[in-house]
Amino acid sequence: MFARHRKLVSLSLISLDLPLQSSVRTTAVLYRKDRERCHILFSEPLLADGSESQPPNQPQPSSDPPQLPPSPPSQKTRNPFGLAPSSQEQGSLETVRDRHLWLEISPYRAILTMQGNGGCSYRHLWALGGYGTSRYWLQSNKNRPHDQLRLRNFTRSYTMEGQGIPRAFRLEYELWAQKISLGRYVLNLEVF
């Protein structure tokens, strides 16, 4: 039961212990997998020097309700997620590389996967009221297998508003390396 929707989303990650905050507001493709599961796919551009950039379709703050940008002109210029053209397809924007994020949400668990950027990928699995895993893959050389860093996380709170396609999602979790706490974090998603 794939029902595809294209909507504006805001995803933020905030540390409750450290001065860390990251957010992206862009257009995403939402797929309703079944009654309880939803996949949210989007790209987050990154500048070659590692500093964050505003996506080209970033809405400017205003009192008007958020508007979706126009769809890309043809299927040939779209990446596998059906979003804006990738940096290779844009040609003139060689300094921009997309990071593809995939978020699967259900009332009982969430999975966030980031692919791309050529240097690091990760996958977080959070389970309601329990322990999950956070894995990071460092891609240093094509001739060597990717190095992996595996951490544990504990989900402290997990809320989702809306069924099928969520309107909002909030996850608070702790990150652990064996018995050492690496902090508490809040992942927040809003769908407009």
Find the CATH number of the domain harbouring 98: 2.40.128.20
% of the chain exceeding 70 in pLDDT: 65
pLDDT in the model for residue 185: 97
pLDDT in the model for residue 53: 43
Instruction: Work out the average pLDDT over 105-131.
Output: 87
Secondary structure letter of residue 77 according to DSSP: G
Give yes or no for residue 116 having a pLDDT over 90. Answer: no
Give yes or no for residue 167 having a pLDDT over 50. Answer: yes
pLDDT in the model for residue 73: 39
Q: How many CB atoms lie within 10 A of CB 138?
A: 12
User: Please, are residues 184 and 15 in contact by the beta-carbon 8 Å criterion?
Assistant: yes
pLDDT in the model for residue 144: 64
- Amino acid code (one letter) for 84: A
Listed range (51-65, 98-112, 135-149) with the worst mean pLDDT? 51-65
User: Please, are residues 181 and 175 in contact by the beta-carbon 8 Å criterion?
Assistant: yes
- Amino acid code (one letter) for 157: S
pLDDT in the model for residue 5: 87
Give yes or no for residue 181 having a pLDDT over 60. Answer: yes
Domain count, the chain: 1
Report the C-alpha gap between 101 and 90 in whole angstroms.
Answer: 19
State the alpha helices, DSSP H only, in the chain.
87-90
pLDDT in the model for residue 165: 83
Give yes or no for residue 138 having a pLDDT over 70. Answer: yes
**Which domain does 36 fall in, by range?**
3-191
pTM, two decimal places: 0.71
pLDDT in the model for residue 91: 43
Give yes or no for residue 87 having a pLDDT over 90. Answer: no
